[in-house]
Structure 1
Amino acid sequence: MLDARGAAVPGATLTLISTSGQQLGRALSRPDGYYELTAPASGSYVLIASAEGRRPDASTVTLGDRPVSWDVTMAAMAGVAGTVTGAGDGAPVPDAHVSALDLRGEVLTSGTTDLDGRYGLEELPEGEFTVAVSALGFHPTAMPVRVSGAGMTGLDVVLRPGIRLRGVVHVLDGTPVDDARVTLADSHGNVVDTVTTGPDGTYSFGNLDEGSYTVVASGYAPVTTRVSVGGDDLDSVDLELGHEEAVPVGGFAGHNGRSGPGASAFGR
């Protein structure tokens, strides 16, 4: 029994079971990491290893008429813990969503902060991860972290508050305009976001950085239809107004053995 660094793992429990799930043998690894299990006959078996503070391991072992050395590597179970606070006042941020992703971008575990802004992500193996944090009213952030050995690795996160822009679209007499399209552009003319107003004419943009913006409000685009008028009245020339479908936004991210009757499988 070895860990990810090649050191012995003593006291690990190793269980040999048949492919039908019947337990055939059980042993503990010695201080030097070695263990030995005996199989009743040649064939394929499942070897399960478990140890406190480490990720369980299961592997298929094919045994023949001679003892086979079968080493098992067990990754340490660890985690990341810390506090999420807001920049400036340093106040804790409750209900922030915290996730740990591996180098392939797969989410391994996630959780939320408590009222004091504390979080804990457990059951992570050794390795490098990205911790992503998001909360309402704050800019999301992602930070690299390396988890090594058992126990919790500390990682405190500071979130930048996002500025919110709100308003109402109305006509000259003050009547609010429902379903108006409001577009926000930055100082370079790039569209930041587009929303439509509610029944009360209100709109809102959130998580903005400091800077200059342009707010553009518009109604529906003109709609035309061709009509031929003859001697009779036309009563069903209906026109439908609506907004064009939003264009999806995309971009680039810059950033193993044998044993027979009475034979044994052993390893470390």
Structure 2
Amino acid sequence: MIDGLTTGHEPAFDFPRFAGLPATPYLVATTPRSGSSWFGHRLWETGCLGAPIEYLNFAPGGPLGQLSEDRGAQERHWQSVLATRTSPNGVFGLKAFPLQFEDLGALNSHLLDAVMRFMLARGADTRVIHLVRRDRKAHAISYARASLSGRWRASQEGEGQAEPPFSRRAVDNAARLIERQESTWAAMFRDLRIAPLRIAYEDVRSDPASALAAAADYLGVTIDPAARVSVPEIERQNQDGARVWAEAYDAGDDAGEGSA
């Protein structure tokens, strides 16, 4: 957990404890800054589509950073979320980036193997929702700015915080990193013969109900309005800086090249 921040990992947001293993696990396969937290919370609040957040993100300083060097605790955490973050209808969602799988493989290959077997080795029953961001320039700018500033959530923003100086190199590096991660997903889908449901963040924003209906249909789940639950709200970050960066990028500015 992170002091002063609501991350969604808090026990107060658990579902009633689920007996046995979830019958319908699915992966939200995506990349950083794709709007995946907002999308995952929309899925979660239906009360019927699990609670897909980053249960395998053990990076130091993150919401599960206290587990970063304890493999036993990581494996107990995984078993715990299977029980407490499975919705009552047996649906469990996990959100992840390729870099998180790579980090977990280096840190705890035993857990990664268990996760892959459970989530992605189910033959025709394997379910993956591939969330992408159609506006690649906006995606790369968002990733670059967050990486430079360390501000990944609106709750980390505050008055008087300086905007990181524009860096074309940082944007281009972010774009390459996004492309590399997308290529990793594509290779995994091909190798495991997975046919994911592809959803664009822009479409989720413009018509959330249709995106949720598509996800439920893909998973073979009926959304019951009476099952709706309260989840932590994901506030959109201020977009003023992103607009300034987009204008500078389009204008061909080269500021910040030496600092990225």
Normalised by the length of structure 2, the TM-score is: 0.21
Larger Rg: 1
Higher strand proportion (structure 1 or 2) = 1
Higher RCO structure (Cα 8 Å, ≥6 apart): 2
